[in-house]
Structure 1
Amino acid sequence: MRYSSRIIFLCIFAAFILGVILMLYIIISTSSISYKSRIKNFDVISAFRRKSKPNTKVSLLTIRKCLDLLPQPNFTSLIIDTEILQNIIENKCRKVSRAIKIALHDKMYQELKRSDQLGRKFSIANFSYPEDTDYMRFHDDETGRFARIIPRIKIRSCGEYQVPADILLFLEYWKRSRYIDCLNLTVERKPMEQVLDPVISVMHLAELRNMFVSFNMYPLLNGGTLLGWYRECSVIPHTTDLDFSVKYDEFDISIIEEFWKPSTKFLMNRRLGMPNDSFEITVSPVDNPGYPIDVFVMYDETNHSYVSGTNHIGMKFRYKYPLYDRYCSADLKGKLFWITCDPEGVVKVNEY
């Protein structure tokens, strides 16, 4: 009897050990599958990773060699001539017979203009750093109009000439720099409490914009956020989230990995669709999760652009826009954001 009890005890103990081993195996396997699924998912979409930004850091010697071929100004001048800057990147320096496009700080520009020292060898614009903004503002040299804005940049000095420290980034900024103003309309609506504070909203949008720029992406205001800027120069009072879009040909899926890092400023709340036709994510600031930002990938077809959406039951739909083939800049509460150059057309088509 005692011998039988011992056998039963050993059998129960062995079964317990086997159960523990099986449970551990299931846990480890599940974790492994989850990890492998994540890796597999990224293998599937690895084709949508963009090439890393080319190394365009140009030596000071190369810059000086190019600038020595140009007429020399008698005043500190920022080169904004895109052809010359592109030649510097490609190390294809040559003399030019036309007027060179440069920009002077507003104070110097006014002084030289009064003394008639600007000369004819240069096409001159003036720029300033408006208070309480994150951008540089350029005025057209002929009309004096407030014509362009770009994010503030670092500058390298080479004698009287100055060049952008990151020339390629400057060129990307410049081709999106044409300024469009908002309408600043008064919208009649019932009194309501502002859901998202406009100043805090644009602060988080600007932080996310900078993060995307570091991956060579230039996000656009989209959806209700575009409407709020265009119509009211602000954030719509009743909106509960913010909207960005990124063009498909710029989109770099590897930014997703940034949202997993312990140091991230934004957490990814959801990810829907595939990058080739219907991708969107929602992120929110780590320290302010009540300000979610939807980021849509924008795709071009022959006659229109579109972003995809997904409703609460998983059904996909599309928002169509006039073809996005040019990009402009806007001010929203002192922050620079990129927009379509046809905001009226986009807003009318979608009837927000």
Structure 2
Amino acid sequence: MSRVRLGAIGAGWWATSNHFPIFQAREDVELVGVCGLGDDVFAVRDRFGFGMATHDIDELLDAGLDAVVITTPHDLHYPAAVAALDRGLHVLCEKPMTLHAGQAWDLARRAETAGVHLLVPYGWNYKPFTVAAKRLLDEGAIGEIQYALCHMASPTRGLFGGDPTHMLERWESATAPQQSTWASPAHGGGYAHGQVTHSSALLFWLTGLRARTVAGRTAHAGSAVDLFDAAVVRFDNGALASLSGAATLADGDPYQVDIRLFGSDGVLMIDVERERVRLSRYDGGHEELVIPPGEGEYECLVPPARFIDLITGAHTDNNSTADVAARSVELIEALLRSSADDGREVRIHD
């Protein structure tokens, strides 16, 4: 395949500030068409060089595409992805892949049946230091995981509270995030779906674990959606975890993602804020990775590029598959369900 014929479903803040410039700059991508609501979609077409613009998803999907990128509001990811996968198209679907576990696992099955790539762009899953950390885990550096800590905090109070000023400054975008996407509970707004999706997907990709039960609580602090999340998780292998999230770092502070894994043979710490990966084995062995300054900062440049490379065969590693994304979705859905039921432990799957 000389050029990937790409279509876009969704043309808002994140697509225009991150994904579209990456695809536009690649010589192996042809931007066939973009689908969105309102007249802004025609300006997006002209700005990025799409061949067509439409309000009709079917018109776009029937335009001879190889792949699509889906950046609609969270609750619209599933029907758009189903329509694309059922046509045999490769799919890059923004996180959270869906809001419900059944839908997430259905997309994973559809992608496998169609024999296509489905990638959810979790930026930290592609950092060299997290790739190196996963290699250590795959080599058995800490043995069987028995306990995990998974914490995330970010300067996103405004995003979830309806004031996107900081996000516009950080990502240099002329298009504001839609409040209905990020700050509306009806459409999957809130910190769990918006941010804990990142830390949990990183945890699941690193470890291969799957949550079996969760008991969780959320707090809104005056917001319409959750700004704080806390949960106790039990995994299939019997391991225990504490998971937490907070939206209220000061604007400009570095994101916190802190994952600490305690195994039968040692401990592995992954800290993106301080840019540390440290292995301590019970037999006395120690290893600390050398990480270039700034590598822990969040960006999402590799996943869109990797999506194209998977399609062309230039790369074979998908670090954020539908399976990883589905494990995150089912955990977050169960956490929110548990919180709504006064923190009762919820069984995720049999």
Output the TM-score relative to the length of structure 2.
Answer: 0.28
Q: Which has the higher contact order (CA 8 A, sep 6+)?
A: 2
Which of the two has greater helix per residue? Answer: 2
TM-score between both structures, scaled by the size of structure 1:
0.28
